Amino acid sequence: MSKNILKLTCRGLRDSIAKGEVKSSDAVSAVFEQIEKHDAKIGAFLSTFKQDALKKANEVDEKIGKGKPVGALAGVPITVKDNMCTTFGTTTCASKILQNFRSPYNATVIEKLLAADAVIIGKTNLDEFAMGSSTENSGLKKTVNPWDYSRVPGGSSGGSAAAVAAQMCFAALGSDTGGSIRQPASFCGIAGLKPTYGRVSRYGLVAYGSSLDQIGPLARNTVDCALLLNVIAGHDEKDSTSVDEKTAPLCDWLEKIEQPVAELKIAVVPQLFKGADGEVVNAIKGAIEVYKKLGAEIVEINMPHFEYAIAAYYLIATAEASSNLARYDGVHYGYRTAKPADYIEVYTKSRNEALGQEVKRRIMLGTYALSSGYYDAYYLKALKVRSLIRSDFTAAFEKADCIIMPTSPTTAFKIGEKTNDPLQMYLSDVYTIAVNLAGVPAISIPCGFDKNSLPIGMQIIAPAFAEGKLLQVAGMFENETDFHTKSPVIK
């Protein structure tokens, strides 16, 4: 029975629970059985809440038994990345500096999940403060790729992606600043959606690069992403950058996804195929053929400023990070050095002892970029590049409904392969970063496997607030293919 439950999609489970065919408590027991069996090796979770989860599941089962109304995710086991504040458990950001931090409040997305009667079963590993592309920068735990334990799950939402792929939950929330949802989704063979900047409240998401950060779902397929987006999207008065619903109306994305896009025009950017592995390129080309067969028109476009995205990103994101992370100082909460000589040492030693190398590197980069005398040459220039990249996207969307390209130039790489070369690591986000700079929505869905049977991800990018169209286009592909139904064989 439990094996069969685990094979259900998020939406499938939700419907079965609502109909009383499956008990939420059985679903929760099934995922915990899976976690207890495999997570010691995979390392997706930083914390789990078995007792509370079972209690919540029983409550949902009881409500359904009595015919009472329940929320859109009633009884479904969900995990969240450990950089979203929860009043239960800790919120560590995979950093020693917040290892024992307990938040007195819930992030808005957590409140929304709870209001939808989701069962939050645990919090997942990440690169420390979401800074990384492999989850190797976690200060607390190592996570491996469920498809190949010698490989990284991607990052920074690597724990969330691994948990979904290894069927230790039915969907997860991640955050995406430069590809942190899409790239691990791609590496783990699942779907990962980064909504438009402003679509989902950031209140309670521990900030990395505030103008780029966006919360989104990781799930087994596009439909599940739509279901989660229905729950988490919307204006939040606590987040001034969340968009009001007059400007960006909400819709039922589950309903939207049912319809294909008529006269679909897809843009591809030939210049961008150069940097990717041959197998990745072939898989994307194969996917484009699928769309062609569905009647889509393919338009070749040029995005002249795309190649500057990484440079601009590592100035803007790090500048914001240097300021956002200043609060972790050992004074008010979090880790404090044992014997400071004076208050300056409370700062210097606490931060030096508890922050990881990559976090320090980015704080230094960002501090430098904002320093007097360098601001114009670095930060301001990066902002100008950002606006050029935005205009590249605007121009592209005048010619096509969406843009298709690889999510990552490679499939999952080996653990340790890029840890000594940060620049190589940064380059693995070449396709995803520009999307955050432009603020537009994008999804990664499985579109093939390489010779090592590792999943390949296709990235679809749509105009701002066109999540509906984005999900439709992704759904059209999933209807024709079965890559999204494949799961890793877990030993």
Partner 1 sequence: MTDIDYKIVVGLEIHVQLCTRTKMFCGCELIFAAEPNSRVCPVCLGLPGALPVMNKQAVEFAILTAAALSCKIAGLTKWDRKSYYYPDLPKNYQISQYDLPIGSNGFIEIPLADEKTKKVRIRRVHLEEDAGKNLHTAENFSQVDLNRAGTPLLEIVTEPDVNSDEEVRLLAVELQRIVRFLGVSEADMQKGHMRFEPNVNLVIKKDNAEYKTPITEIKNLNSFKALEKSVAFETQRQLDKFLESGTCLQSGNKQTFGWDDIREVTVLQREKEEAHDYRYFPDPDLVPVVVNEKWLAEIKTKLCGLPLKMQNRFVSEYGLSDYDSAVLTADRTTAEFFDSSVKAGGDAKRLCNLITQTGLKIANEKGCKVSELGISPQKLAELAGMVEAGQISATASVTIFEEMIQSKSSPAQIAESLNLLQKSDAGELEEIVDEVIAANPKAVEDIRSGDKKSKKAHGFLMGQVMQKTKGAANPQVVAKILNSKLNS
Q: Is 4 a residue that touches partner 1 (CB under 8 A)? A: no
Q: Which of residues 43-62 bind partner 1 (CB under 8 A)?
A: none
**Catalytic annotation present for 180:** yes
Q: Is 176 a residue that touches partner 1 (CB under 8 A)? A: no
Q: Is 207 a residue that touches partner 1 (CB under 8 A)? A: yes
Query: What is the SS3 assignment for the chain?
Result: CHHHHHHCCHHHHHHHHHHCCCCHHHHHHHHHHHHHHHHHHHCCEEEECHHHHHHHHHHHHHHHHCCCCCCCCCCCEEEEECCECCCCCCCCCCCHHHCCCCCCCCCHHHHHHHHCCCEEEEEECCCHHHCCCCCCCCCCCCCCECCECCECCCCCCHHHHHHHHCCCCCEEEEEECCCCCHHHHHHHCCEEEECCCCCECCCCECCCCCCCCEEEEEECCHHHHHHHHHHHECCCCCCCCCCCCCCCCCCCHHHHCCCCCCCCEEEECHHHHHHCCHHHHHHHHHHHHHHHHCCCEEEECCCCCHHHHHHHHHHHHHHHHHHHHHHCCCCCCCCCCCCCCCHHHHHHHHHHHHCCHHHHHHHHHHHHHHCCCCCHHHHHHHHHHHHHHHHHHHHHHHHCCEEEEECCCCCCCECCCCCCCHHHHHHCCCCCHHHHHHCCCEEEEEEEECCCCCEEEEEEECCCCCHHHHHHHHHHHHHHCCHHHCCCCCC
Q: Is 211 a residue that touches partner 1 (CB under 8 A)? A: yes
What is the closest distance, in whole angstroms, from the C-beta atom of residue 326 to partner 1 in the complex? 4
Question: How far is Cα 200 from Cα 191, in angstroms, rounded to an integer?
Answer: 18
| Annotated active-site residue in 133, 160, 180, 444 | 180
Q: Is 332 a residue that touches partner 1 (CB under 8 A)? A: yes
Q: Is 319 a residue that touches partner 1 (CB under 8 A)? A: yes
What is the closest distance, in whole angstroms, from the C-beta atom of residue 243 to partner 1 in the complex? 10
What is the closest distance, in whole angstroms, from the C-beta atom of residue 315 to partner 1 in the complex? 11
- Which residue do the tokens 């920068």 mark? 137
Q: Is 84 a residue that touches partner 1 (CB under 8 A)? A: yes
**Catalytic annotation present for 156:** yes
**Chosen residue from 367, 391, 481, 487 binding partner 1 by CB under 8 A:** 367
What is the closest distance, in whole angstroms, from the C-beta atom of residue 124 to partner 1 in the complex? 16
| Annotated active-site residue in 16, 156, 175, 408 | 156
Query: Per-residue x/- marks for partner 1, 440-479, CB under 8 A?
Result: ----------------------------------------
Instruction: Give the range of 3-11, 18-26, 158-166, 316-324 binding partner 1 by CB under 8 A.
Output: 316-324
| Annotated active-site residue in 81, 194, 418, 469 | 81
Q: Is 169 a residue that touches partner 1 (CB under 8 A)? A: no
Q: Is 3 a residue that touches partner 1 (CB under 8 A)? A: no
What is the closest distance, in whole angstroms, from the C-beta atom of residue 344 to partner 1 in the complex? 8
Q: Is 113 a residue that touches partner 1 (CB under 8 A)? A: no
What is the closest distance, in whole angstroms, from the C-beta atom of residue 118 to partner 1 in the complex? 19
Site size toward partner 1 (CB under 8 A) is 43
Q: Is 240 a residue that touches partner 1 (CB under 8 A)? A: yes
Q: Is 241 a residue that touches partner 1 (CB under 8 A)? A: yes
Pick between residue 110 and residue 303 the one whose CB is nearest to partner 1.
Answer: 110
Pick between residue 171 and residue 316 the one whose CB is nearest to partner 1.
Answer: 316
Q: Is 315 a residue that touches partner 1 (CB under 8 A)? A: no
Q: Is 104 a residue that touches partner 1 (CB under 8 A)? A: yes
What is the closest distance, in whole angstroms, from the C-beta atom of residue 290 to partner 1 in the complex? 39
Q: Is 384 a residue that touches partner 1 (CB under 8 A)? A: no
Instruction: Give the range of 259-267, 315-323, 458-466, 483-491 binding partner 1 by CB under 8 A.
Output: 315-323
Catalytic residues: 81, 156, 180
- Binding site residues, partner 1, CB under 8 A: 83-85, 91, 93, 98, 101, 103-105, 107, 202-207, 209-211, 237-241, 319-320, 322-323, 326-327, 329, 331-333, 343, 347, 367, 370-372, 375, 379
